[in-house]
Amino acid sequence: MTEEVMMVPTKEFDQLVQYYKAEITNNALLNKGGRLAAESHVILCDKLIPDSIAIKKIKPLARQRGCLTKRMRHWRLVKQ
């Protein structure tokens, strides 16, 4: 068997690598943000959890979601 070889300028290849690193990172951040939002929603909708306990459980999730949002905005600016 022979391996297929593609010739690409180094600069262009490096740009492609950076682009796809950003895409992968952004998708991972979106997935994590979605999980945090879903978890928050479930906690808030559960009638068996008292409001005071629900708020205590939601606060750290909200902080994490805020950090993820900032990181995603940063990636979007870097990508453009």
Task: Determine the distance from the C-alpha atom of residue 22 to the mean position of all C-alpha atoms in its chain, rounded to a whole number.
Answer: 10
Tokens coding 70 = 């900032």
Pair of tokens at residue 74: 């940063």
- Give the mean pLDDT per block of 10 residues along the chain (80 residues): 71 81 79 89 92 94 90 72
pTM assigned to the model: 0.68
